Structure 1
Amino acid sequence: MTKVFGSQSAVDGLDMRVPTGSVYGFLGPNGSGKTTTIRMLLGLVTPTAGDHDVLGHHMPDGLTTALHRVGSLIEGPAFHAHLSGLANLRRLDAADARSDAATSEQRIDSALDRVGLKPAANKRFRAYSLGMKQRLAIAAALLAPRDLLVLDEPTNGLDPQGTREVRHLVGSLAADGITVLISSHLLAEIQQICSHIGVMRAGRLVAQGSIEELRSTQTAQLTVHTPDPGPAADVLTRHGLDQVRVDGEIVTAAPGDVLPEDISAALARAGVRLRRFAIDRPSLEDLYVSLTGEGFEVRG
């Protein structure tokens, strides 16, 4: 898909694939095209070029059928501040032409229970914490059965407690088989909850796949701290490790396919004394920076 606003290309030739049953983290710097992409997926914005399917339905022809199985939270929750959480959900459910009035109270009660808001159901929305507001928005998205949940920055502005609340909720939804597409800037959230990621940069999807698959494309580094750096470097070179470097008492190398246990055994046989032996795999942040050239906000 491509979306152009005036002379600016917001999304350029995007080919996005979200596996069924996955939690897909949609990453990228501000202005990289994430929200525009989500809006196109949900039929809120018309692509300038290209097409797409949602839940097997070609868009925009299948818009009505597909979106009935999609729940979403885009750019923060919007409810009537003077109404309770329960009253807000009743209004939303009544506005859905496909909802069954006979089961409305049961479904609303189930949605509130799912997000842990039953005790606060009669509390006015304006008195909710940010985390409660986000959870109410997710409850609204779950009033009907969903196969896909799309969350745009669901932890934006939340304190650590609110962030944990939303994280646990998303995890429970994924465990029940709902596919979740979640846009976030928070590394801790993506690492803890997502199985797959897609990375945007300047309107282009520069990488996508499972987190482990993408991390495996980055070169690992072996680090040896030893008072015997010369012999250690000789051992690593003899065993076919690349990029062997010595810096004082620290020896580094790229282990390649050589097993860590074989390397440590060879060092021991050579009498090399070890203070530290580690193979460091590139983190998700390392991957993100290598793809976008920008840092990643990290928050616990």
Structure 2
Amino acid sequence: MTDAAAPDGYAIRTDGLRKVFRKQHAVKGIDLEVPRGSVYGFLGPNGSGKTTTIRMLLGLSSATGGSVELLGRRVPEALLEVLPRVGALVEGPASYPYLSGRANLARFDAADPTTDPRTRADRVASALDRVGLSHAADKKAHAYSLGMKQRLGLANALLSPRDLLVLDEPTNGLDPQGTREVRNLIRSLADDGTTVFVSSHLLAEIEQVCTHAGVMRAGELVAQGSLDELRSAGVRTLTVRTPDVGQAGSVLTRLGLTPRHEGGADVLVAELPSAVLAEDVTAELVRADVRVRGITVGGGTLEDRFVALTGEGFDVAA
């Protein structure tokens, strides 16, 4: 791990975290660094070790090796002190099917020895309102749709103020409107100073709401950082629009690029190495009397970056 920030600058910090099931290495020595106040997207294909990692972070599963710090305290040693400051929704919400949403939350709240029973009704009502379930508060949980059950799980995680919120696939089962509401909720929590750790395979959702991300592949953390850092590490693309396609192609080839036709007969596209400046390419084209109608440089997309890192596709639909 780097020393770019002091330990208390991270809401989550792991060092060589490992999990072995018999002979299967599910998590292979990962070093997570989740800055306080960030919205951190934990990405990876199914089976890459995301949920196993989350379970170790929360003390739901013991680590085979390595260490974990939550909110600056070592866990599992300080779990009883730290967990009241952490809200979580892991592997889908659990509820009592024949109790109402309101009664479920009241029961969950009563199980927390740090809460004040005199203000329980207010906390429950506030949590239901925040996830848009006030209208169904007295409906039995077994009659909830999958999306409503997901909202109830989120409400449970928000019963008390949290310094850290850990969400495993929080938009699972939600319609587009519900997904948008959860996205807005995450933003509002981050604005209030809560660090939000979101595990997901929905790339579009991560890109819209997160400030940082980490990418898992087969139990390994293959990249992490701010979204801008991850984008900048991707492939840049040069697009040239010109009527002199053949002449432009010769110039690009001479500069070590590999041009290809894409998007029209007058368009050439090539990957642009970091060592090659777009200004130099433009100057060479002009020097060769190529009539340049337009030239643009695009950074590699997050989708391209993640597919390159994992070797697998992502569900990019919202």
TM norm structure 2: 0.85
**Counterpart for residue 272 of structure 1:** 291
Q: Please state whether the residue corresponding to 1:18 is helix, strand or coil.
A: strand
- CA drift of 1:181 comes to 0.6
**Counterpart for residue 257 of structure 2:** 243
**Counterpart for residue 170 of structure 1:** 186
**What are the within-5 Å matches in structure 2 for residues 279-294 of structure 1?**
279-294=297-312
- CA drift of 1:4 comes to 0.6
Q: For 1:258, which of 268, 277, 285 is the aligned residue?
A: 277
* Residues 211-260 of structure 1: CA deviation (Å, up to 9, x unaligned): 1101101221111132212443566689xx65153657433341746357
Q: Please state whether the residue corresponding to 1:157 is helix, strand or coil.
A: coil
Mapped to 1, the partners of 2:279 and 2:106 lie a distance apart of 59
Mapped to 1, the partners of 2:138 and 2:45 lie a distance apart of 38
Q: Please state whether the residue corresponding to 1:197 is helix, strand or coil.
A: strand
- Which amino acid is the alignment partner of residue 21 of structure 1? G
Contact kept, 8 Å, 2:27 with 2:220, in 1: the verdict is: yes
Q: For 1:136, which of 144, 149, 152 is the aligned residue?
A: 152
Q: Which runs of 5+ in 2 are unaligned?
A: 1-16
Contact kept, 8 Å, 1:32 with 1:203, in 2: the verdict is: yes
Q: Please state whether the residue corresponding to 2:69 is helix, strand or coil.
A: strand
Mapped to 2, the partners of 1:271 and 1:97 lie a distance apart of 74
2:98 equivalent to 1:82: yes
Closer, same or farther: CA 295–246 of 1 in aligned 2, 3 Å: closer
- Which amino acid is the alignment partner of residue 63 of structure 2? P
Root-mean-square deviation (CA, aligned residues, Å) is 2.5
Q: Please state whether the residue corresponding to 2:189 is helix, strand or coil.
A: helix
- CA drift of 1:294 comes to 0.2
- CA drift of 1:266 comes to 6.8
Q: Please state whether the residue corresponding to 2:33 is helix, strand or coil.
A: coil
**What are the within-5 Å matches in structure 2 for residues 188-207 of structure 1?**
188-207=204-223
Contact kept, 8 Å, 1:107 with 1:143, in 2: the verdict is: yes
Q: Please state whether the residue corresponding to 2:104 is helix, strand or coil.
A: helix
Q: Please state whether the residue corresponding to 2:34 is helix, strand or coil.
A: coil
Contact kept, 8 Å, 1:131 with 1:163, in 2: the verdict is: no
- Which amino acid is the alignment partner of residue 226 of structure 2? S
Contact kept, 8 Å, 1:289 with 1:295, in 2: the verdict is: yes
- Which amino acid is the alignment partner of residue 52 of structure 1? V
**Counterpart for residue 111 of structure 1:** 127
The more displaced of 255-264 and 126-135 is 255-264
**What are the within-5 Å matches in structure 2 for residues 1-300 of structure 1?**
1-233=17-249, 242-243=256-257, 245=259, 247=261, 249-253=266-270, 254=272, 256=274, 258=277, 263=282, 267=286, 270=289, 272-274=291-293, 277-300=295-318
- CA drift of 1:264 comes to 9.0
TM norm structure 1: 0.90
Q: Which runs of 5+ in 1 are unaligned?
A: none
* Residues 131-150 of structure 1: CA deviation (Å, up to 9, x unaligned): 22212111111111100000
- CA drift of 1:156 comes to 2.0
- CA drift of 1:261 comes to 11
Q: Work out the percentage of aligned pairs sharing the same amino acid.
A: 58
- CA drift of 1:202 comes to 1.0
Q: Please state whether the residue corresponding to 1:67 is helix, strand or coil.
A: helix
The more displaced of 146-155 and 249-258 is 249-258
Segments of 4+ in structure 1 off by > 6 A? none
- Which amino acid is the alignment partner of residue 219 of structure 1? V
Q: Please state whether the residue corresponding to 1:218 is helix, strand or coil.
A: coil
